[in-house]
Structure 1
């Protein structure tokens, strides 16, 4: 394996997925203390990212499944999930702080990951289109390994005492706000 290619793949992943760390931290904070919730977040993150990579690889080979004009409409997914989370937070606003909120489901995490990946697709397609199959495989393998690292990073952030206190106190507001913001940015972008 070419170490330079691995470094380029890692750098490309990091640059295009920085925003996912915040989203993952919010999801992990929301899932705190709920059995199986962390696993669902990881599964959802992998499902969503696998869909991003599949579209980018297909487009790199010239079989574009999503026309460029359709990409902004992916913003509807996080926007809808954000509105739903905001509604639930508003509806439950008078209840005790220890009242459990719904932990994110794998398909919700996957939908947010995929919808937030329009920029990833836009960056990955030309890279994949100009790479040979062997190099494309290296990119994909590095990306999939780094999804796990990102999940660990998001969980790490969510469990830091200062971050956990902030997310515990404001996560019910931050998650809907971030999802709505991402949805609007995608729709308007």
Structure 2
């Protein structure tokens, strides 16, 4: 439940910076590309090739940590400059496909360790069913994120504080992945 809530929150934060349909489509493509990388690694792992060594998976936490630090630095540097925020909302660049895919991959990278054994036991048909269900889940996260971003009260809060919240959430996700993965020996 917490993982799903975090994924919906991340989608809503990304959608908060996508005022146009094209930018929203880029976000959805990025979410699918990131999740496709997770599923591909799990499928390859399940088929016995083992794309990523288990010890490398926790280091995927560096992706959201660095992206969050970058976003926080940018927000701090442009503090009080409302033109950047207005530009993001009204036609600025917003999050790119690669940025969204990287956050999705890092946020769900630990799932590779769970998906590999499930896929390995499920066989090819079962694996295909799982993949379809997971891809529908990504669509649900995107729809829920867009829904929450379009609620006036939430949209206003995201417009005002989204850049700060995005930094905090990304850094938190990165630190959590690194810590739970045992990178720090805790």
- Name the TM-score class by shorter chain: 0.7 to 0.9
- Report the Cα distance in structure 1 between the residues aligned to 2:57 and 2:159, rounded to whole angstroms: 33
* 1:53-72 alignment runs, 5 A limit: 53-72=39-58
TM-score, normalised on structure 1?
Answer: 0.86
Unaligned ranges ≥5, structure 1: 1-13
What do residues 83-135 of structure 1 show as CA deviations (whole Å, max 9, x unaligned)? Answer: 11111111111212653244000000000000111232122112111101111
- Report the Cα distance in structure 2 between the residues aligned to 1:52 and 1:187, rounded to whole angstroms: 17
Unaligned ranges ≥5, structure 2: 181-186
| Cα shift at 1:149 | 2.0
- Report the Cα distance in structure 2 between the residues aligned to 1:15 and 1:169, rounded to whole angstroms: 24
- Report the Cα distance in structure 2 between the residues aligned to 1:88 and 1:77, rounded to whole angstroms: 17
Q: Given the alignment of the two structures, is residue 45 of structure 1 paired with residue 31 of structure 2, yes or no?
A: yes
The equivalent of 1:84 in structure 2 is 70
* 1:1-189 alignment runs, 5 A limit: 17-31=4-18, 33-34=19-20, 36-96=22-82, 99-101=86-88, 102-189=93-180
What do residues 33-63 of structure 1 show as CA deviations (whole Å, max 9, x unaligned)? Answer: 2452111100000000000000111111121
- Report the Cα distance in structure 2 between the residues aligned to 1:86 and 1:119, rounded to whole angstroms: 24
Q: Would you say the 8 A contact 1:34–1:103 is kept in 2?
A: no
- Report the Cα distance in structure 2 between the residues aligned to 1:163 and 1:126, rounded to whole angstroms: 39
Q: Would you say the 8 A contact 2:58–2:110 is kept in 1?
A: no
- Cα distance change of structure 1 residues 94 and 27 upon mapping to structure 2, 3 Å threshold: same
After TM superposition, where is structure 1 displaced by more than 3 Å over at least 4 residues in a row?
14-18
- Report the Cα distance in structure 1 between the residues aligned to 2:65 and 2:2, rounded to whole angstroms: 23
Q: Would you say the 8 A contact 1:16–1:120 is kept in 2?
A: no
- Report the Cα distance in structure 1 between the residues aligned to 2:154 and 2:98, rounded to whole angstroms: 25
TM-score, normalised on structure 2?
Answer: 0.87
Q: Would you say the 8 A contact 2:12–2:148 is kept in 1?
A: yes
RMSD: 1.7
